[in-house]
Each structure stands twice: as structure tokens, then as C-alpha cells.
């Protein structure tokens, strides 16, 4: 066997430099996806006519097509239709694709989280004179968040790893740098293993953060 | 004062309320009794528009609404006139006992935090669970939760309080403490409308009793009259199931049931 451990350890610091761009892609996409997902889920729950059908179409499309296809459509396809989008950077195109794709999944997660908060609490809020909006913001959403956190965390972990797809449109992130090193030295296994370990490490650290947060927000519900 | 006239409500093709009219005077405690499915809870829920009635008019305090053309502003004002105690308590699970009471105050009535806390603590003391103010609802017994529900309903200082079967989902051991709290409030001349299956309680606490069946008000009157001398066959049949003594004078065809 021809495995060069020393080389692998040597390139890890060179790869760590690319963690910020990977996290940037994942975190910004996640924030936008959550915002879109919340709006979509409220449209789904309230069954607002017309907008409900549009939301369902949106979710169906972005869940039904590969994220890589969406990424290529946005980066290479859209500027063809709209020339002013030529200036769209690869990083921004990746963020748009990841946001739209993730938001479709989050919409379903949030919808389930919202309807799992019993209707009686909304009724109680309204009966004490709160408006529907106040009831949703103050009572329903905080509880829905708790219900949604585990599944949303899964989506985020997926997003950290999917951000590696951005290398296909020329974003130099973690995987792109690994590929660069691999082709330079032809030590593919070591380079890609190093990349994999770094992704793994990021998801482990994130899992700790999430576990701490879940424990915190679960406190009111423990006897 | 609550005044309802010609109230109708259907769910799909099922007519639940068929022309309901009645009145509750200032400071009066009225109990609504009747078999399950008679429309009692629906009636109560129409009064604060948790259910939207199809026809008729509702007047509570200074606000009156015509069900044919309810304005959104009026609906909100109508809801401000009452508060409700629910069968399943419906406490806000993400808030502490004290916050359950103060949240509506700070959010709608623009109380300052400290004023709201003072109101809340005072009410918790009245219902006897001030020591639980920092606890979350999940850690309370049913009886304790319902007492918080009552304190929350009192806090907004409504024109009238609506009780929707406040003891029906309680374990028997907690029923007494909740009924005691409600009796205390009734003695303070709050206007109250109570849907209940506790016949003894209705008899003791109510100034007037309304008997409903099949979407109609069958009869209403003083508790003694309804329980001891019901005028309608339907009322007698219902009360006999609850084992109340029913006067035999008007009830030749059915033997009276006497229990304890």
C-alpha cells in the first residue's frame, strides 16, 4: 500500500484556509433559505389562495430537480436569458442556488413544525385580545422553532457538504483546493481524504452547537 | 351585559346553533347545561368569534356585531370584551406561569413589565399558586394549569368571562379546587357564562341556568326551577341521566331517579 500520511497531514493546513469560504457559502445560503422557508410555510399553513399553488409549484420544482442542475441553470443559463446577469459572480450564483434549493425543503419542515403547535394556544391568545399576528409571533413560532431545529440542523449539515458543488462553477472552496493539490502531486487519496476529514470535522463541531442549543430551548418542556 | 339574538351556526351542512337568543345581565353568573353535541361550546365560541356565526347579532359590553356583516375592527373589539377559560387549559407552553398572564397584558394593553408582573402575581395569589410563578405549564397538575388559565382570563379585566367546560378534562381530585376558584370569582360579581357538566356546581353557583339541546335553548330559569321543576320533557330526560331529583308532578310518564 502506498499511503503517504505525512503528506496528508502536511496539506491539511493549506486546506483549512478554505473553511471560511465554505462556511460563508453554507451560512449565507442557510439564512436566506430560512427566510424564504418561513414565508413559504406560512403560505402553506394559511392556505392563501393562488400563493398556495405557487408555493407548491416552487417546492415541487426545487425538490424535484438536482441541486447541481439548478446551480448550472442559474450560473450559466440565466445570463443567457438576461444579459445583465453576466456580472453575477460564481459565489453569488452558488448562494442563490443553495438558498432556493434548501428553502424548498425547509418550507415543508417548517409547515410540519407550525401545525404541530396545538391550535388551542392560538385560540387562547386570541381570546385574551392578542391579534392573530401577535399570537403567531409570540406563541406559535417560538414553539415551532423548537420542533423544527433537529430537521433544520440536518439540512444545514447537508448544505455544508453540498457547498462543495460550487467548485463546478469555479468557486475555489475547500474541495476545489483539494482537487488542485491532488492533481499537482497525483496523491489523490490523501488529498481527498484530507478534504473529507475537514468536512467531517465541521459537521461534528456543528452537531455540538446544535445539541447545546436544543438542550437550551427544551428547558421549558422538561418536567 | 351579553345579548345574543337569532344566532345561527352551521358546520358544512350540520346546523349546530338554530336561532339562539338570550341575555346575561351585568354581574350575573349563567350556567349553560345540556347533552354533548347540543351546541353549548359552539355558542360560547361564537361570542368571541373563535367560531364565526352565520346569522344573528351579538352584543357584549359596548360592542355589538351583526353576523351578516362583521367588520374586522369590531371582531377585535368584541374579543377584547371577553376572555375564555378552556377545557384543555391551553396555556402557552413556551412561557412561565407568570408570563402566561403578563404576555397578553404587555402585548395588547401596553402595560409596563413591572405593572404586568404585579397584576399577574396578585392574581396568582388569588388562585393560590403564586409559588409556581416561575414554573412552566408542563410541570403543573391539571388543576394548577386550569387555575393559571383562570388567572390569565381575569388579568385582561374583561367585561365577561366565558368558561368552556373548565373541569371536564380534570382528574376528579382536582375538580374541587378549580370549582372553588370559580365560585370565588362569581361572588365578586363578575359577569360569567359557564358551560358545564357539573350539575351540583351549576346549581350552587349560577344565578340562572340555560338548558340547551339540539341547537336550541329549551328552557332557562333559576337553578331551583330548572333542576327541581323542569317544564320540558327534554330537560327532564337529560337531568334524570345526571341522577338529579326531578319533580314527579310534571313527569308522570317517567319514574323519577333519585340519587344521593
CB A216, CB B94: distance < 8 Å = no
Give one DSSP letter per residue of B86-140, joined into a string: -TT----TTS-HHHHHHHHHHHHS---HHHHHHHHHHHHHHTT-GGGTTS-GGGS
Confidence at residue B242, expressed as pLDDT on a 0 to 100 scale:
78
Whether the complex's predicted ipTM surpasses the cut of 0.90: no
Are A127 and B76 inside 8 Å of each other by CB?
no
Mind listing the domains of chain A with CATH numbers?
5-221 (1.10.3720.10)
Read off the C-alpha cell for A110: 417548517
pLDDT surpassing 80 at residue A36: yes
Per-residue pLDDT, A143: 94
CA distance A187 to A207: 31
The mean predicted confidence, pLDDT, of chain A is 94
Distance CA A91, CA B232 (A): 79
Residue of higher predicted confidence among A184 and A222: A184
**Residue-wise pLDDT tens for chain B (260 aa)?**
999 999 999 999 999 999 999 999 999 999 999 999 899 999 999 999 999 999 999 999 989 999 998 998 999 999 999 999 999 999 999 999 999 999 999 988 789 999 999 999 999 999 999 999 999 999 999 999 999 999 999 999 899 999 999 999 898 888 999 999 999 998 888 999 999 999 999 999 999 999 999 999 999 999 999 999 999 999 999 998 876 544 444 444 444 444 44
Are B94 and A118 an interchain contact pair (Cβ–Cβ within 8 Å)? no
Q: Which is nearest to B82 in space by CA: A138, A124, A136, A140? A: A124
Task: For residues B218 and B226, give the distance between their C-alpha atoms in angstroms, rounded to a whole number.
Answer: 11
pLDDT reported for residue B243 = 65
Q: Each residue of A12-35: pLDDT tens digit?
A: 999 999 999 999 999 999 999 999
The total of other beta-carbon atoms located within 10 Å of residue A147's CB is: 17
Q: Does B80 touch chain A (CB under 8 A)?
A: yes
Average pLDDT over residues A47-57: 93
The residue of chain B with its CA nearest to that of A145 is B94
Q: Which among B156, B135, B94, B31 has a CA at the least distance from the CA of A127?
A: B156
Q: Do B48 and A127 touch (CB under 8 A)?
A: yes
User: Is B188 in CB contact (< 8 Å) with chain A?
Assistant: no
| pLDDT at residue B246 in the model | 42
| Cβ atoms of B31 and B194 closer than 8 Å | yes
Q: Do A127 and B88 touch (CB under 8 A)?
A: no
Q: How far is A157 from chain B (nearest CA, A)?
A: 27
Distances (CA, A) of B51 to A90, B17, B22, B46, B154: 53, 11, 18, 5, 22
d(CA B113, CA A186): 67
- DSSP H helices in chain A: 5-16, 19-46, 51-64, 67-72, 78-81, 90-115, 119-127, 132-135, 141-162, 174-185, 188-218
Query: CB distance A142–B94 less than 8 Å?
Result: yes
Cell of B198: 357539573
**Which chain B residues are closer than 8 Å to A118 by Cβ?**
90
Residue B61: name the closest of B103, B12, B20, B3 by CA.
Answer: B3
3-class secondary-structure state, position A152 = helix
- Interchain contact B75–A (C-beta under 8 A): no
Residue A95: which of A67, A115, A121 has the closest Cα?
Answer: A67
Q: What percent of chain A has pLDDT over 90?
A: 88
Phi, psi of B233 (to 5 degrees): -55, -40
The reported pLDDT for the residue numbered B65 is 94
Of A124, A220, A223, the CB nearest to B94: A220
Partner residue opposite B138 with nearest CB, options A139, A142, A223: A223
Which are the contacts of A79, defined by CB distance < 8 A and separation ≥ 6?
A85, A86, A88
Please, are residues B53 and B9 in contact by the beta-carbon 8 Å criterion? yes
Domains of chain B (ranges, CATH numbers): 2-228 (3.40.50.300), 229-260 (no CATH)
Amino acid at each position: 500500500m502506498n499511503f503517504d500520511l505525512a503528506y496528508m497531514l502536511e496539506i491539511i493546513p493549506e486546506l483549512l484556509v478554505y473553511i471560511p469560504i465554505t462556511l460563508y457559502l453554507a451560512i449565507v445560503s442557510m439564512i436566506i433559505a430560512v427566510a424564504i422557508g418561513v414565508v413559504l410555510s406560512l403560505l402553506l399553513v394559511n392556505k392563501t389562495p393562488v400563493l398556495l399553488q405557487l408555493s407548491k409549484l416552487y417546492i415541487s420544482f426545487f425538490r424535484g430537480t438536482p441541486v447541481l442542475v439548478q446551480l448550472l441553470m442559474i450560473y450559466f443559463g440565466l445570463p443567457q436569458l438576461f444579459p445583465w446577469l453576466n456580472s453575477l459572480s460564481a459565489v453569488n450564483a452558488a448562494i442563490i442556488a443553495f438558498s432556493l434549493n434548501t428553502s424548498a425543503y425547509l418550507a415543508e419542515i417548517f409547515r410540519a413544525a407550525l401545525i404541530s403547535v396545538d391550535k388551542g394556544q392560538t385560540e387562547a391568545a386570541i381570546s385574551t385580545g392578542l391579534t392573530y399576528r401577535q399570537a403567531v409571533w409570540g406563541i406559535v413560532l417560538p414553539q415551532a422553532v423548537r420542533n423544527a431545529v433537529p430537521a433544520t440542523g440536518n439540512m444545514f449539515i447537508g448544505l455544508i457538504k453540498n457547498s462543495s458543488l460550487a467548485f463546478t462553477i469555479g468557486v475555489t472552496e475547500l474541495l476545489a483546493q483539494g482537487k488542485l493539490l491532488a492533481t499537482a502531486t497525483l496523491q489523490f487519496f490523501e488529498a481527498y481524504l484530507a478534504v473529507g476529514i475537514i468536512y467531517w470535522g465541521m459537521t461534528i463541531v456543528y452537531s455540538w452547537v446544535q445539541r447545546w442549543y436544543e438542550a437550551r430551548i427544551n428547558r421549558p418542556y422538561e418536567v | 351585559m351579553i345579548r345574543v339574538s337569532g344566532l345561527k351556526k352551521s358546520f358544512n351542512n350540520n346546523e349546530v346553533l338554530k336561532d339562539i337568543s338570550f341575555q346575561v345581565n351585568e354581574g350575573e353568573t349563567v350556567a349553560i347545561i345540556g347533552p354533548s353535541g347540543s351546541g353549548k361550546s359552539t355558542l360560547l365560541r361564537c361570542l368571541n368569534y373563535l367560531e364565526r356565526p352565520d346569522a344573528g347579532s351579538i352584543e357584549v359590553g359596548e360592542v355589538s356585531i351583526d353576523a351578516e356583516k362583521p367588520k374586522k375592527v369590531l371582531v377585535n373589539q368584541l374579543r377584547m370584551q371577553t376572555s375564555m377559560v378552556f377545557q384543555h387549559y391551553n396555556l402557552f407552553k413556551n412561557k412561565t406561569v407568570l408570563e402566561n398572564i403578563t404576555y397578553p397584558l404587555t402585548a395588547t394593553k401596553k402595560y409596563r413589565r413591572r405593572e404586568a408582573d404585579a397584576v399577574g402575581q396578585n392574581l396568582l395569589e388569588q388562585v393560590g399558586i403564586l409559588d409556581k410563578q416561575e414554573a412552566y405549564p408542563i410541570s403543573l397538575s391539571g388543576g394548577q394549569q386550569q387555575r393559571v388559565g383562570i388567572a390569565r382570563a381575569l388579568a385582561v379585566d374583561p367585561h365577561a368571562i366565558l368558561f368552556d367546560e373548565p373541569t371536564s378534562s380534570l382528574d376528579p381530585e382536582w375538580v374541587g379546587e378549580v370549582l372553588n376558584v370559580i365560585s370565588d370569582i362569581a361572588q365578586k360579581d363578575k359577569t360569567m357564562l359557564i358551560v358545564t357538566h357539573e350539575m351540583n356546581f351549576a346549581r350552587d353557583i349560577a344565578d340562572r341556568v340555560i338548558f340547551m339541546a339540539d341547537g336550541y335553548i329549551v328552557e332557562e330559569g333559576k337553578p331551583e326551577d330548572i333542576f327541581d321543576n323542569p317544564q320540558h320533557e327534554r330537560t327532564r330526560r337529560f337531568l334524570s341521566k345526571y341522577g338529579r331529583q326531578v319533580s314527579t308532578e310534571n313527569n308522570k310518564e317517567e319514574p323519577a331517579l333519585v340519587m344521593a
